[in-house]
Amino acid sequence: MKSLQGRHIYLRALEPEDLDFIHEIENDQGFWEISNTITPYSKYLIKQYLEHSHKDIFEVKQLRLVICNHEDEALGMIDLFDFDFKNRRAGVGILIKAPNNRQKGYGKEALQLLKSYCKSQLSMHQLYCNISEDNKMSLKLFKNEGFDVIGLKKDWNYINGSYKNEFLLQILL
């Protein structure tokens, strides 16, 4: 049985075989806005990243997990970033790659599994996320999972020639 097992999906560590999957995501300009990326990543750099992905969250301050269905197909990723052990908090980000896999509950289930893992295994106190004001689906997901909007960062991100506001959401575990 997989340790971060849900009803429809499970979360697993990164594997060397994820190189092409991650390369496609990191180089898809449609995702750059949510990841604050402005340049493509080479397979070489992603391979190096994968070679070090086994390192402990306490050392590298982040954890990236692959969201898979029970047929072992990679659907997306969920990340903890800016892990702050002293204050027991981290940022969280989630991405479902294919549009036809969105709005099927995979992100919800992945977020529920991650919240449980953060509380029970990492003894975390809080999670936060940053979501563009116009990303209605992500706002709905995080709000439905107990995250509260605690602030609005005005003109926070410069995207395609204009500034966009970004919400800051938080949950206490």
- CATH number of residue 12's parent domain: 3.40.630.30
> Please, which residues bridge with residue 101 across strands?
none
In this structure, the strands spanning 126-132 and 162-172 are antiparallel
pLDDT at 74 (0 to 100): 96
How far apart, in whole angstroms, are the C-alpha atoms of residue 50 and residue 153?
A: 33
**Residue 15's pLDDT band (cuts 50, 70, 90):** very high
Lowest mean pLDDT among 57-61, 138-142, 150-154: 57-61
Name the residue among 43, 39, 85, 42 with its Cα closest to residue 62: 85
Looking at the chain, the whole-number percentage of residues with pLDDT higher than 90 is 72
Tell me the per-residue pLDDT of 77-125, one tens digit each, with 9 for 90 and over: 999 999 999 999 999 999 999 999 999 999 999 999 999 999 999 999 9
Q: What domain range includes position 94? A: 4-172
Tell me the per-residue pLDDT of 66-75, one tens digit each, with 9 for 90 and over: 999 999 999 9
Tell me the per-residue pLDDT of 37-47, one tens digit each, with 9 for 90 and over: 777 778 888 88
Give 8's contacts (C-beta < 8 A, 6+ positions apart): 69, 70, 104, 105, 106, 109
Amino acid identity of 136?
A: K
Residue 1 pLDDT more than 50?
Answer: no
Looking at per-residue pLDDT, the higher value among 51 and 148 belongs to: 148
> Please, which residues bridge with residue 93 across strands?
79
Looking at the chain, the whole-number percentage of residues with pLDDT higher than 70 is 98
Confidence (pTM): 0.90
pLDDT at 3 (0 to 100): 66
**Sheet with 148-159, edge to edge strand ranges:** 4-5, 9-13, 63-69, 74-84, 89-96, 126-132, 162-172, 148-159
- Domain count for the chain: 1
How far apart, in whole angstroms, are the C-alpha atoms of residue 86 and residue 74?
A: 33
Looking at per-residue pLDDT, the higher value among 27 and 139 belongs to: 139
